[in-house]
Structure 1
Amino acid sequence: MTIIIAAWISGVALALGGVMALIRLARGPSILDRTLALDVLLVIIMCGLCLDMAVNRHLNHIVFIVVGCLVAFIGSVTIARYVTDRRNP
């Protein structure tokens, strides 16, 4: 019973974080703000998958979480290198 209450509280917190990340993604003044918001959104989605795995006691989403981590890391590094190369001609 307590896992259900904790899952609901966590789900609401993740949903609020997702909405705020979407707002930052839409309103971000720079490409770095949008990239950071997209990374946060991806982490929130992965946390939601982890929450589902914890509540339902399975490991079905573990591949998606690993791939999501790799995509987030490679995307962040690529954007950071692109912005750094653009600023230093």
Structure 2
Amino acid sequence: MTWVWIIAGVMLTGAATATMFRLLAGPSTLDRLVALDTLVAVTMCAIGTWAAFSLDTTVTYSLTALALISFVGSVSVARFRVPDVDKPGISRRRR
């Protein structure tokens, strides 16, 4: 059973590393937003894995808080973001 926890930890670490690369190298704001959401999801998976490993359910409250904060943050950034680059012929007014 120990191998399951080791494999889960390695996979979560790999996912977090790949996500951090996209977060730092993302060419646009929306790419970075998706990477940040993915990083929060990986963090939530890591917390859930830790809760299953340690048989401690007190950390599951943080899962609810992370899910709520992530959702509200993603919706607000997607709603109020402005275009990254000004392109000729494209206006910035809202439709």
TM-score of the superposed pair, with normalisation by structure 2: 0.83
The answer as to 2:36 corresponding to 1:38 is: yes
> What residue number does 1:8 align with?
6
| Structure 2 match to 1:68 | 66
Which structure would you say has the larger RCO, counting Cα contacts within 8 Å and 6 or more residues apart?
1
The alignment's C-alpha RMSD in Å is: 1.5
What is the TM-score normalised by the length of structure 1? 0.88
Would you say how many aligned residue pairs link Structure 1 and Structure 2? 86
Structure 1 unaligned spans of 5+: none
Give, in angstroms, the shift of residue 7 of structure 1: 1.2
Percent of aligned positions that are identical: 31
Q: Select which of 21, 24, 33 maps to 1:23.
A: 21
- How big is each residue's C-alpha offset from its partner over 1:28-77, in whole Å with a ceiling of 9 and x where there is no partner? 01110001111111111111111011011110211111000001111111
CA distance in 2, matches of 1:61, 1:71: 16
CA distance in 2, matches of 1:60, 1:79: 30
Partners of 2:93 and 2:11 lie apart in 1 by 39
Structure number, greater radius of gyration: 2
For 2:29 and 2:75, the matched residues in 1 are separated by: 13
Which residues of structure 2 form unaligned runs of 5+? 84-91
Richer in helix (by share): 1
Give the partner amino acid of 2:37: D
